Amino acid sequence: MEDHSRRVRGFLERCAAFTLVELMIALAISTVLIAAALAMHAHARNVYRTNERIARLQEQGRYALSVLEPDIEMAGYLGFTNVPDGIRLVRGAQPQVSLATLDELRQFPVRAGGALPAPMAGLPPNAHACGVNFAVDLSMPVQGADGVFATGRNPGAVCRAYQNRARVGADTLTLRRVSTRTTFAEPDRIQIYASRFGGGASHRLFADGTAPGPVDANHRIHDLLVRTYYIAQDSVGEPGVPALRVKSLTRSGTQATFADEEVMHGVEDLQIQFAVTQGQGDAMRYVNPDHPDLPRLQVMAVRIWLRVRAEEPDAQFTDRQTYRYANVEFTPTGAERNYRRVLISRTIAVRNARTF
């Protein structure tokens, strides 16, 4: 018992060695260390969130480009040819009208007083919803509008942007080609009957579900694909969040129609320029999509810019950057400065560009 008592007294004496000042200093040091650890944790968490948001924006931009790229590369592909000259619209096996009549479109609106041709007989009515002969203007596989939502050279009154709210200042890009996969004849779907022999003169355009000839290894059927990309002010279910959308020629029920679908939310600007040439030996140059001579030029590549914006503002971030690209100079102001953005650009070659 006496040994135990001595040990207890020794312990109490050692504890009494810490003064109140020493205890307060130890407490202050501990508090500083804990605060520093918490600050480092908060900083690491903010850095992680920032990197995650930037990575998400970049992924959104890359996905949007992955949708656009194959359509641009394949623009002008018509089966066994990339030359639309001589392709005829037929009903059954009987020629109705030659696409050569669309040569008038090549001169519009350059030619003073030039009038658009009448709607091609034999096409489904909705094929003209986005403009007279818009769906079959195969002489222009790559087409665009600078700073506005517009389809073709004579936009249709019923062809509107989503919620009738297109993004002001964004470009519009239209691409025409046929599907890479062969298919079967369907009524009220615009299709091309492609023949391996004879080039464009042996191809036929039809929409009545009756193939103009035999279907075999040398004669195939492809769906005509027409897609118009643009920027809308609103995403589906997210008003105020911009989005890249596409109008696609398709069939709904028993009618040919242009369906409007969202490609990627958060894309707030689309800008394009075309690399064009006038003929063999002519130097390639870049022009805006509303260049007046574009119907007489050959588009060899498309330079594209996508500006992607975060869905939600970040109160701890202020965007002071000025974005300069294409013919755009954009500096965020007001509440727009609290949104993070990335700008993605790519030049895509038109693999089926017509050679001279």
Cα three-residue angle 262-266-267, rounded to 5 degrees: 80
- 232 to 128, 264, 270, 299: CA distances (angstroms): 22, 11, 10, 26
Q: Report the predicted TM-score, pTM, of the whole model to 2 decimal places.
A: 0.83
Positions in the chain whose pLDDT score sits under 70? 1-18, 43, 46-48, 50-51, 93-118, 155-157, 199-200, 280-281, 355-356
Question: Would you say 300 and 282 are in contact if contact means Cβ atoms under 8 Å apart?
Answer: no
Strands 88-91 and 204-208, sheet pairing: parallel
Question: Would you say 220 and 182 are in contact if contact means Cβ atoms under 8 Å apart?
Answer: yes
pLDDT of res. 23 = 76
Alpha carbons 52 and 45: distance in angstroms, whole number: 10
pLDDT of res. 101 = 42
Comparing C-alpha atoms, which of 84, 71, 98, 108 is closest to residue 295?
108
pLDDT of res. 89 = 83
Alpha carbons 302 and 234: distance in angstroms, whole number: 26
Alpha helices (H) in 75-124, listed in sequence order? 103-106
pLDDT of res. 16 = 57
- Give the tens place of pLDDT for each residue, 245-254: 999 998 877 7
Indicate the SS3 state at residue 343. Answer: strand
Comparing C-alpha atoms, which of 335, 337, 309, 307 is closest to residue 321?
337
CB environment 109-145: b (16+ within 10 A), e (fewer) = eeeeeeebeeebebbbebbbbbbbbbbbbbbbbbbbb
pLDDT of res. 66 = 95
pLDDT of res. 343 = 95
What does residue 28 show for φ and ψ, rounded to 5 degrees?
A: -65, -45
pLDDT of res. 252 = 77
Indicate the SS3 state at residue 354. Answer: coil
Comparing C-alpha atoms, which of 95, 94, 229 is closest to residue 167?
229
Query: Which residue ranges make up each domain of the chain?
Result: 46-349
